[in-house]
Amino acid sequence: MYCVKKIKEDLFWVGGTDRRLALFENAYPIPRGISYNAYVLTDEKTVLFDTVDRAVTDQFFENVEAVLGGRPLDYVVVNHMEPDHCATLGEIVRRYPEAQVVCNAKTIPIIKQFYNFDIDSRAIVVKEKETLSTGKHTLTFMMAPMVHWPEVMVTYDMTDKILFSADAFGTFGAMNGNLFADEVNFERDWLDDARRYYTNIVGKYGPSVQTLLKKASALEISMVCPLHGPVWRENIEWYVDKYKTWSSYQPEEKAVMIVYGSIYGNTENAANILACKLADRGVKNIAVYDVSGTHPSTMISEAFRCSNLVFASATYNGGIFSSMEHLLTDMKAHNLQNRTVALLENGSWGVLAGKLMKEIILGMKNMNILEQTVTVKSSLKESQMAELDALADAIAESMK
Ligand SMILES: Cc1cc2nc3c(=O)[nH]c(=O)nc-3n(C[C@H](O)[C@H](O)[C@H](O)COP(=O)(O)O)c2cc1C
Ligand SMILES: [Fe+2]
Ligand SMILES: [Fe+2]
The pLDDT value recorded for residue 264 is: 98
Q: What is the mean pLDDT of the segment spanning 48-53?
A: 98
Q: Which ligand is nearest to the CA of 227?
A: 3
What is each CA distance from 35 to 85, 87, 141, 168, 227, in whole angstroms?
A: 11, 14, 24, 14, 8
Can you spell out the DSSP letters for 304-349?
HHEEEEEEEEEEETTEE-HHHHHHHHHHHHTT--S-EEEEEEEESS
- What pLDDT digit, counting tens, does each position of 83-109 carry? 999 999 999 999 999 999 999 999 999
- What pLDDT digit, counting tens, does each position of 251-277 carry? 999 999 999 999 999 999 999 999 999
Q: What is the mean pLDDT of the segment spanning 150-177?
A: 98
The pLDDT value recorded for residue 64 is: 98
CB of 39 within 6 A of ligand 1: the answer is no
382 Cβ contact partners less than 8 Å away, ≥ 6 residues apart: none
pLDDT category at 36 given cuts 50, 70, 90 is very high
The pLDDT value recorded for residue 295 is: 98
What is each CA distance from 66 to 72, 74, 289, in whole angstroms?
A: 12, 16, 47
CA–CA distance, 259 with 319 (Å, rounded to integer)? 17
The pLDDT value recorded for residue 167 is: 98
Using an 8 Å Cβ cutoff, are 107 and 81 in contact?
yes
The pLDDT value recorded for residue 193 is: 98
CA–CA distance, 204 with 54 (Å, rounded to integer)? 26
**Percent of the chain residues topping a pLDDT of 90:** 100
Distance 308 CA to ligand 3 centre (A): 30
CB of 319 within 6 A of ligand 1: the answer is no
Q: How many angstroms from the chain centroid is the CA of residue 223?
A: 20
CB of 346 within 6 A of ligand 1: the answer is yes
DSSP-derived letter for residue 204 is: G
Mutate to test the pocket of ligand 1, among 268, 311, 346, 379 (most ligand atoms within 8 A of CB): 346
The pLDDT value recorded for residue 40 is: 99
Distance 252 CA to ligand 3 centre (A): 24
Q: What is the mean pLDDT of the segment spanning 287-308?
A: 98
Ligand 1 atom, smallest distance to 261 CA: 26
- What pLDDT digit, counting tens, does each position of 353-379 carry? 999 999 999 999 999 999 999 999 999
CB of 264 within 6 A of ligand 1: the answer is yes
pLDDT, mean over the chain: 98
CA–CA distance, 136 with 357 (Å, rounded to integer)? 58
The pLDDT value recorded for residue 39 is: 99
Can you spell out the DSSP letters for 17-70?
EESS-SEETTTEE-TT-EEE--EEEESSSEEEE----GGGHHHHHHHHHHHHTT
CB of 347 within 6 A of ligand 1: the answer is yes
Distance 335 CA to ligand 1 centre (A): 29
- What pLDDT digit, counting tens, does each position of 10-22 carry? 999 999 999 999 9
CA–CA distance, 161 with 231 (Å, rounded to integer)? 13
Distance 378 CA to ligand 1 centre (A): 8
The pLDDT value recorded for residue 265 is: 98
| Protein residue with its CA nearest to atom 2 in ligand 1 | 316
CB of 261 within 6 A of ligand 1: the answer is no
The pLDDT value recorded for residue 124 is: 98
- C-alpha angle 75-129-217 in degrees, rounded to nearest 5: 115
The pLDDT value recorded for residue 119 is: 98
The pLDDT value recorded for residue 366 is: 98
Q: What is the mean pLDDT of the segment spanning 23-37?
A: 98
Residue spans of alpha helices (H) in the chain: 57-68, 83-86, 89-95, 107-114, 186-189, 191-197, 206-217, 236-247, 266-280, 296-305, 322-333, 353-362, 385-398
